[in-house]
Structure 1
């Protein structure tokens, strides 16, 4: 028997009520979320989960890879322009920098005990104003044997750099100290009383060039970094 129009109308109303009630129950059971999120959730059903690599672990002195055991991590960064100050990092400790408040125009130097890894002294020497070449020479010469010396420039490190200071730095192995020009960016790592391995990155220089300067009147900052093998305890 075919259903009458009245029976069909009753069935339609009953089906509509069931659909409405099912929708009501679903709305009550499922927490509120934006439509876009709901659509994305439906689309994501059956998709393979995305495996995300964990965030890389931060290394000492912001190295990309960790230094081997029984080595010291270091990173030397020259200043850039007026406002990007020089930095000296050793074993993840900022020896010289803006946050430590001991960086200034000229040549900035940190002396570290090679055996213990402890800082001995830090100082900056203005090479644009004042007669600071002599005091800097005395500071360098005061470093005890078995010391690491880290040197970085900020702004100008050459205008009042005299022969005594050049000889003192040259005697530590610098190849670039006599090539320093006005506002050259320069970084240097030295060992006093012992020899560093040949592969250690020790020195870089970058000269001011109006056609290539990153900053107005200044070249780009430069850096060296690496790992220094510790001596026998």
Structure 2
């Protein structure tokens, strides 16, 4: 075959292939509805532009809870203390009654007395159970709480070494099941009432032997009718 004949055939074949490709594309464009392509492009654009949904940041509730307490209840938190910079804490209705920031927390047993009807704090005091004879003073303080009072008790460092029988009996009479079982540097928290009964289904007391971590107690208190 002559050279000019082979070149002519190649050119003709390339021209025919180009015409076929263009016509195939034209037929494909005619067969596929434009609206589908438009919707597809719009859908991809929406996916790209749609903001990512994020969970809302939890809102702090009273006494550092992350869920609100039911209506007609009091919010509170009891936290025993021990070790460096781990102070006992009593919070009631978002008011810090005893803690590092209030400057009234001390080694031994820390007690807060609250009027149940008004929610107002009556008195706070800590009793050193390592140095001095303060067991009798603590028993007197507890007994001085008027009727319709809530009493919150938490240990800081060691609440057992100087705890004597008189104070144990007073706390035991208020419903404590663990006061005779706390040992040297045991963590202990206790909630009780004077002059009325707390609901039977709430946690009133917690104890742990190790002092490495505090004990947190979170429950609501039902309001009086």
Would you call these one fold, judging by a TM-score over 0.5? Answer: yes
Q: What is the deviation of 1:51?
A: 1.6
- Corresponding residue number in structure 2 for 1:227: 220
1:88–1:97: 8 Å Cα contact kept in structure 2?
yes
1:79–1:221: 8 Å Cα contact kept in structure 2?
yes
Q: Give per-residue Cα distances to partners, 1:127-168, cap 9 Å, x unaligned.
A: 001000010000000000110000000001011100000000
Matches within 5 A, 1:133-152: 133-152=135-154
2:81 aligns with one of 76, 79, 82: 79
Q: What is the deviation of 1:114?
A: 0.3
Partners of 1:123 and 1:223 in 2: CA distance: 20
- Corresponding residue number in structure 2 for 1:119: 121
Q: What is the deviation of 1:47?
A: 4.1
Partners of 2:54 and 2:47 in 1: CA distance: 19
Helix, strand or coil for the counterpart of 1:159?
coil
Partners of 1:202 and 1:82 in 2: CA distance: 27
RMSD: 1.5
1:72–1:229: 8 Å Cα contact kept in structure 2?
yes
**Higher Cα Rg: structure 1 or 2?**
2
- Corresponding residue number in structure 2 for 1:159: 161
Matches within 5 A, 1:10-159: 46-159=48-161
> Where do 5+ consecutive residues of structure 2 fail to align?
1-44
- Corresponding residue number in structure 1 for 2:19: none
Partners of 2:122 and 2:106 in 1: CA distance: 19
Is 1:168 the counterpart of 2:170? The answer is: yes
Helix, strand or coil for the counterpart of 2:163?
coil
Q: What is the deviation of 1:44?
A: 10
Helix, strand or coil for the counterpart of 1:139?
helix
2:58–2:66: 8 Å Cα contact kept in structure 1?
no
Partners of 1:76 and 1:54 in 2: CA distance: 28
2:184 aligns with one of 165, 182, 185: 182
- Corresponding residue number in structure 1 for 2:37: none
Partners of 1:188 and 1:82 in 2: CA distance: 22
1:202 aligns with one of 186, 201, 204: 204
Q: What is the deviation of 1:219?
A: 3.5
TM-score by length of 2: 0.77
Q: Which runs of 4+ in 1 moved over 4 A?
A: none
Helix, strand or coil for the counterpart of 1:173?
coil
Q: Give per-residue Cα distances to partners, 1:60-112, cap 9 Å, x unaligned.
A: 11123111111101110000313210000000110000000000100000000
